[in-house]
Structure 1
Amino acid sequence: MRSAMKRVRKEETIENNGQCSKKQDESRHKKDPFSILPLDLIVEILFKLPAAKSIARLVFVSKLWSSIIRGKDFTKLYLTRSFTRPRLLFVVFCHYIPTQFLQSFSQEDPSSDPHHRVNISPHRCRLWSFSPPVRGLICRQNDTTVIIGNPSTGQFLTLPRVKSRRRGLFSFFGYDPVNDEYKVLCMTVLQVRQRRESRVVAEEHQVFTLGAKQKWRRIECNHDHLPPSLTKGVCINGVVYYYAWIKSEGSLISFDLISEVFNVIKLPEDIQCLVNYNGKIALASFCKLGTLDLWVLEDASKQEWSKVSLLVPSWTDLVVDENLYFKVRGTLSTGELIFTPTRPVRPFYFISFDLKENSAKKVVVEEIGDNFASLEIYFDHVESPMVLSNVS
């Protein structure tokens, strides 16, 4: 009799627990109706949204959606698709209303794409220069303040203040593909006196790895060097390259983001303009018409360079101003060689040279408008859904 009563009570307890669990599930589904959707369907819904900015807003839908969107797997999947749809990214400085904004367009056909604009600053004193975008993110710096931004979502994140009393600061931005990490390299400027001479070098080299609870770390550099003001690095395969002076001689500095080691590469010619040429670092000078010479770094460890001479086709029928000089910007992911004017032109355009077809075309971007003092353009930019998390 007692055993029968215990069995009945146990069955009642199981039934009650089942009812409670069912009620809890129903309550949870009422609070979060999206939790009943399969993971694959959620990802498919996110991929059908028109822009990464729309995806970033959905982190507030539920904890599940937030974990999916913030997850590295989703970001990698989204970036894989974005690399097949490269974009142009403009950093524009306006005339009459002191302001700065970012604007992106389809690289294939700028006029066919609904473009997205992100305003940066309403004050002229806060117009800062940006580093070239790396996997959808950009970096800018003013004094000892460094900011990481995602132009696709319009989100900006201020990093902890660089620990230095010096005001002169250089910063470079890159991506470590082995550890899947974004890093910022900063160096401050020091004036060194040697007997009666004095020279300026960079020291106090520090690195910041993007992520929660990170901080600036001091690293060693055995090469006294100084980058020119406003110099920008080029990140290729986990290495940031930038031009710098060692004493009075121009050199190429490479900083390996994986090992965090500096190396000096001797230049075949003293050329400051660095470009990405078919996945390799190259030196390029200004170009008008005729032969274009590029020095391509074939092997950094052996310091081997090769010289590439290209016969640029005449584009006088594309350009009205025959006195306008152009700057080589490197090659696109499609292999096309890109030239941009050395001074602002309205409407803005650039020249695309198809190396295989030996033909040039003019690409006009009218949607920026004419009211700009200057602008910077970056190629092969990709949209990223990455949500920048608090680093503190």
Structure 2
Amino acid sequence: MEHWVFTLGGGVSRQWRKIPSPCPQHSPFTQGLTMNGRMYYLGLVPDLLSPVFVRFDISSEEISVLQNVEDAFWCRYYYTEIIEYDGRLAILDYSDLVKDGVMELWVREDEEKNSWSRKTLVLHPSHMNMVKTHIVHNMSLRVQGTTRNGDVILVPQHITRPDDQFIVLPQVTTHFYVFLYNLQKNHLRKVYIKSNRYNTKRWDVVGFDDIENFMSP
């Protein structure tokens, strides 16, 4: 495994540079979240059932594997994502969201002491009915970051498992929409994305500017 960085601006030569990495070989499976000059993500290590917590220091260009969250075990890592919660680093396990309306939120309280708090979030029955109405058959939801207001963006997706493989496909519909979930208020709402520029029925959310301006190619 190799790690490369590309520095933007600052008069530095704009080219890819290989950097040393003493951390164990791993494969990232979550999006990277950058906070206070450090990027965090979860990765898989061969022969380990539980993911590892990885930190990349942008200034020193050092990659390190941190101590795992105590008592946390994410065997269904396809449904785990690192997010920002109230200015703090957090890990959201939403593997039981569509089926039972339950999510587990781990919030880091102290980095040096590796102190985390755990909170179980349960959707209101009316919100659960909304999910059950729109997320049917082989559909699921995935976390695509948070808005500036701190709402978690939940994007509908199709999942197939041919030949024991796990394949995630974009949403197949002409109605562009996402769910926004407020963790602090425990409130879920559906937001339609209005656009007349696209004729395709297959689409996916790849980024966003703010709550009113989602990119939906």
**TM-score calculated relative to the size of structure 1:** 0.40
Does residue 55 of structure 2 align to residue 227 of structure 1? Answer: no
Q: Does the 8 Å contact 1:330/1:337 carry over to 2? A: yes
Q: Does the 8 Å contact 1:234/1:274 carry over to 2? A: yes
Task: List per-residue Cα deviations over 1:145-174 (Å, max 9, x = no partner).
Answer: xxxxxxxxxxxxxxxxxxxxxxxxxxxxxx
Question: Aligned letter for 2:8?
Answer: L
Does residue 113 of structure 2 align to residue 302 of structure 1? Answer: yes
Does residue 4 of structure 2 align to residue 206 of structure 1? Answer: yes
1:319 is displaced (CA, Å) by: 6.0
Question: Aligned letter for 1:224?
Answer: P
**In structure 2, how many angstroms separate the alpha carbons of the residues matched to 1:362 and 1:233?**
25
**In structure 1, how many angstroms separate the alpha carbons of the residues matched to 2:172 and 2:202?**
10
Q: Does the 8 Å contact 1:234/1:275 carry over to 2? A: yes
Question: Aligned letter for 1:238?
Answer: G
Match of 1:256 in 2: 57
Q: Does the 8 Å contact 1:291/1:310 carry over to 2? A: yes
Change (3 A) 1:380 1:276: farther
Match of 2:85 in 1: 277
Match of 1:333 in 2: 148
**Which runs of 5 or more structure 1 residues have no equivalent in the other structure?**
1-201, 383-392
Q: Does the 8 Å contact 2:42/2:53 carry over to 1? A: yes
Does residue 54 of structure 2 align to residue 241 of structure 1? Answer: no
Q: How many pairs align?
A: 179
Report the secondary structure of 1:320's partner residue. Answer: helix
Structure whose CA Rg is larger: 1
Higher strand share: 2
Q: Does the 8 Å contact 2:148/2:210 carry over to 1? A: no
**In structure 1, how many angstroms separate the alpha carbons of the residues matched to 2:5 and 2:135?**
45
Match of 2:165 in 1: none
Match of 2:134 in 1: 321
Moved more, 260-269 or 369-378: 369-378
Change (3 A) 1:370 1:275: farther
Question: Aligned letter for 1:237?
Answer: N
1:242 is displaced (CA, Å) by: 1.9
**In structure 1, how many angstroms separate the alpha carbons of the residues matched to 2:208 and 2:88?**
16
**TM-score calculated relative to the size of structure 2:** 0.67
Higher helix share: 1
**In structure 2, how many angstroms separate the alpha carbons of the residues matched to 1:357 and 1:233?**
25
**In structure 1, how many angstroms separate the alpha carbons of the residues matched to 2:145 and 2:119?**
13
